Structure 1
Amino acid sequence: MPIASSPATPVRSPAEVNADIRALWARSGAALSPEGRQEYERLLVEWEAAVRADVVEAA
């Protein structure tokens, strides 16, 4: 199933998003609920956008 991107929002740094991903996994005990899985997928989309923004800025 494709992951829908979120509407245009300010992009946080990859490190900030990664911290949220790590916190989500820590809270979940390494087993995500369906809601946790949705949050994880949303965070991955945000992380990818943040990484791309960093690459564009560096270029």
Structure 2
Amino acid sequence: MPTSPAELPRARSLSAANEDIRALLSAGGLVSTEGRCRYEELLVEWAAAVRGDVAEAA
């Protein structure tokens, strides 16, 4: 049975995800495989936060 948006766990804030992405990029963290994987994880978190902000605004 699908979970409704109200039942989904709250994602981190957009600014928190964005701050972590910027820190990773400024530290040159994309050089390693682990850094690239972390970047992809952060992008997923960022996108979820964006969707959450849009849903709240609506």
TM-score by length of 1: 0.76
What's the offset of the Cα at 1:51? Answer: 0.2
Larger Rg: 2
CA contact (8 A) 1:21 1:43 kept: yes
What is the root-mean-square deviation of aligned Cα atoms in Å?
Answer: 1.6
In the TM superposition, what are the counterparts of 1:34-49 in structure 2 within 5 Å? Answer: 34-49=33-48
For structure 1, the 5+ residue unaligned runs are 1-7
For structure 2, the 5+ residue unaligned runs are 1-7
Between 1 and 2, higher relative CO (CA 8 Å, sep ≥ 6) is seen in 1
